[in-house]
Amino acid sequence: MSSRGSCRLGVLVSGSGTNLQAIIDSIETGEINAEICCVISNNAAAYALTRAKRRGIPVVVHENKGFTDRYGYDAVTVQILRSYNVELVILAGFMRILSETMVNAFPNAIMNIHPALLPAFPGLHAQQQVLNYGVRYSGCTVHFVDSGTDTGPIILQTVVPVEQDDTEESLSARIQKVEHRTFPAAIRLYADGKLIVEGRRVRILP
């Protein structure tokens, strides 16, 4: 945790990268004292890569093919992140489950954003799970990553209502809007050295 220098981030993406964009913008406005050292994508066509290149951020396409298991793939990811001296890893729409190889290399230093209020509705298609269940509120959760799926210590959550006529698309759009301020807020706390993990609970220092 670097309250003195700026925090070195590595961002892993697979898709459109609207969260990446929100993080870039928050760094540029000075809201977060951090620097994105590299953006790594498992998908060469991810629009997130265009967003990074536009800002002169180094990008690495690291595809799954050629790897027989997650451990081998993740070992290379760790090498790339280390080569950029990354301190905090950000999963911004990275559609792969991490193995222990990654989790052990960055203990309590990998953050994910999930489009539901964990521990409810983990895994894929969280917004559709929410609609199918019929809950009245959902939102987003930023959490540290452990070796389970969406099970790590929770850092911040933001709540949104579920409307009567919501579709997966309309609910996703409402959640994404709050993701774009919740993720930068969590990264800012980390970069300022204000997050202390105490077992499952994360203490936020004043």
16-45 footprint of ligand GRF as x/- string (CB under 6 A): xxxxx-------------------------
Any catalytic annotation for residue 180?
no
Cβ-proximal residues to 77 (8 Å cutoff; 6+ apart), any chain = 12, 40, 62, 102
- Enter the tokens of residue 122: 């983990």
- Tokens 């489950």 found at: 97
- Enter the tokens of residue 3: 């309250």
Judged by CB under 6 A, the chain residues 88 through 107 that form the site for ligand GRF are: 92-93
Residue type, 156: L
| 74 in contact with ligand GRF (CB under 6 A) | no
Stretch in the footprint of ligand GRF (CB under 6 A) among 26-34, 72-80, 108-116, 196-204: 108-116
| 158 in contact with ligand GRF (CB under 6 A) | no
DSSP annotation of 169:
H
Question: Closest separation between CB of residue 141 and ligand GRF, Å?
Answer: 9
Is-contact 111 88, C-beta < 8 A? yes
DSSP annotation of 174:
H
| 10 in contact with ligand GRF (CB under 6 A) | no
* Closest of 82, 10, 19 to residue 39, by C-alpha: 10
Among 111, 113, 171, 202, binds ligand GRF (CB under 6 A): 113
Q: To the nearest 5 percent, what fractions of the chain are helix, strand and coil?
A: 35, 25, 40
| 115 in contact with ligand GRF (CB under 6 A) | yes
Decide whether 5 or 51 has the Cβ nearer to ligand GRF.
Answer: 51
Decide whether 20 or 40 has the Cβ nearer to ligand GRF.
Answer: 20
What residue ranges bind ligand GRF (CB under 6 A)? 15-20, 48, 92-93, 113-115, 176, 179
Catalytic center residues: 114
